Structure 1
């Protein structure tokens, strides 16, 4: 937290002027979107969270439930907060995220994980904006968050006028599409809240129909337990057999519901930060090379990448499911060697993949 002595609230005119200056500074720091919302609890937002958790749709993400009370509103996390500065940083891709669907010998890595770790990049710029704000307004207090605290970035982004939560539950910006990393700054300042965007999904259901595992029980509702991003990143044990074939060659995350969204025609790779440009070796990596990774090789390859967070075992587990779906019998030798892996989840995935490859012509 960046602290300074307490101060009185800003008059409305000053709040509007400050908001414009904050937005300008945010753009100068690389944020594509900036908006403001009240830090008070929104009963509708809180009720949706409770329903989602009550239905068990968070799966094994116990941390979502453990601090649910602090997710209800910014003031439950920090009682002194009066406003939220919601920010979005573009990572719009230059290539088609679905292009590798027809290349089973290659692995598909979600666009957001092909460049530098967004946690580090976004937090650095959030802190810079926070320091500027404290210097600009003596007495202001702020806290910065990016995906590692009990903060509901997507609903807050919607409340701050950045966009609306689409039928896939991700934030959709009419100017930047869905390719946005979200961050938030909580502050003791009273800033003028933005006008909330009207939902513009209409009758479109492209994202719902594109989901390989039917993870949306209804529009605007996500069952994470069926989501490929959850299964390949958050889920620690064996993936249920009913989902393994549907994983295809996706080994880290899934872009399908975002990639088909018509609003992404307004997203341009020119908006993306240079730090998020894809590393060449992660755009279309060969499964054979990834299956050969030991722990040291995994750590070396994914240094500075968000992928490093899941560890070698979970990563190789995912690669084995992709190998089993590849139909490439040339991978059978590598897969067979992994049936004796010390990690039982990896060994189980290898046995499943080897059985699949054994039936290939």
Structure 2
């Protein structure tokens, strides 16, 4: 049965498949509890919801006897760090430059789960980042890789570029050995983080993470992080891309989850002009669409402000009257960064005098009388 499942998994596009037991990570409840108690999850309340099930596979589904962990490779064909220097363009994380992995991986998981159920006459449940499942610790226990100092699953065969899925099953399958930590003394992933999101190795403070700030965080982004965000408009690949293990990952093009080239670094001027309909069309079927147009435009306008190019100021000015407060606020910030107080005065008289949102009003005050910037 095990060999049949592995063969079918690879035919479906999974690059690796391993098995673990539901009780393979007994320290998981304590680790999760400590992380949540520190508030390091930010506003991701869903991490607290059903925390008992998240930390214990058997609490989530008492019938589980084995967990099949599967990996899909999405390795980029070029170094994502090269995008950071293209300040007139928006850098989109590698995983988001392709079809939404929830749809792709979940479909594969369902097909494989159905195959396992039929062949073994067993029950299964499939999960792909949409249920209280701690995929990374389980994947480490199964031997798919190890959680690096940046907390991301890292593989000798595939580097940092893995999307994970899980099949809980009532079948009693032989487990694989866990993968040992191979990070050694390297701390490249910790040192490259622009916002200092790692208070210690193997510990992430999501509240300082650019991926969290640009994707999960719903409100205005704190001033202290804006300059460090640079041109990253959706996610951040820095800690993944700098890892030395990536050079040992050799993946054939046909084994990768295909990217859409146009999404790698679109021009900021084009992104800043997106209305709701255009945004939905441009990012249909990708992870970017799930974040929503307003939150995405907030990120784009931060990148516009960081571009250092006054020629992009009209891209910010056109959003000063946007219906969404988080868009208006970052448009004000971008105008202030590119134009300075004197040029912002007439813009304020045209757009800011009647502003009722307190956050946007505060951005206008700062643009007209800039405070000293504080970088993390």
Q: Same fold (TM over 0.5)?
A: yes
Q: Once the two structures are superposed, what CA deviation does each residue of 1:126-151 show, in whole Å capped at 9, x if it has no partner?
A: 1111111112112x000001011101
Which residue is 1:100 aligned to?
A: 83
> Are 2:16 and 2:144, in contact at CA under 8 Å, matched by a contact in 1?
yes
* 1:277 counterpart (254, 258, 265): 258
Which residue is 2:59 aligned to?
A: 76
SS in 2 for 1:182: strand
> Are 2:20 and 2:67, in contact at CA under 8 Å, matched by a contact in 1?
yes
* 2:329 counterpart (348, 353, 359): 348
TM-score, length-scaled by structure 2: 0.88
Identify the structure with bigger relative contact order (alpha carbons < 8 Å, sequence gap 6+). 1
Which residue is 1:60 aligned to?
A: 43
Q: Once the two structures are superposed, what CA deviation does each residue of 1:286-311 show, in whole Å capped at 9, x if it has no partner?
A: 00000000000000001111110011
Return the alpha-carbon distance in structure 1 between the equivalents of residues 24 and 15 of structure 2: 26
Which residue is 1:148 aligned to?
A: 130
TM-aligned CA deviation for residue 277 of structure 1: 2.1
Q: Once the two structures are superposed, what CA deviation does each residue of 1:61-113 show, in whole Å capped at 9, x if it has no partner?
A: 00100111110111111111111000000001111111111110011000000
SS in 2 for 1:219: coil
Return the alpha-carbon distance in structure 2 between the equivalents of residues 322 and 272 of structure 1: 33
SS in 2 for 1:66: coil
Return the alpha-carbon distance in structure 2 between the equivalents of residues 268 and 346 of structure 1: 41
> Are 1:122 and 1:146, in contact at CA under 8 Å, matched by a contact in 2?
yes
TM-aligned CA deviation for residue 281 of structure 1: 1.8
TM-aligned CA deviation for residue 337 of structure 1: 2.1
TM-aligned CA deviation for residue 328 of structure 1: 1.1
> Are 1:117 and 1:306, in contact at CA under 8 Å, matched by a contact in 2?
yes
Structure 1 gap ranges (5+):
1-17
> Are 1:41 and 1:74, in contact at CA under 8 Å, matched by a contact in 2?
no
TM-score, length-scaled by structure 1: 0.92
Runs of 4+ in 1 over 6 A off after TM superposition: none
Task: Tell me, yes or no, if structure 1 residue 188 matches structure 2 residue 189.
Answer: no
TM-aligned CA deviation for residue 19 of structure 1: 2.4
> Are 1:332 and 1:357, in contact at CA under 8 Å, matched by a contact in 2?
yes
Which residue is 1:43 aligned to?
A: 26
TM-aligned CA deviation for residue 333 of structure 1: 1.5
Which residue is 1:197 aligned to?
A: 179
CA 1:115–1:273: 2 relative to 1, 3 Å: farther
TM-aligned CA deviation for residue 22 of structure 1: 1.9
Which residue is 1:295 aligned to?
A: 276
TM-aligned CA deviation for residue 273 of structure 1: 4.6
Structure 2 gap ranges (5+):
344-376
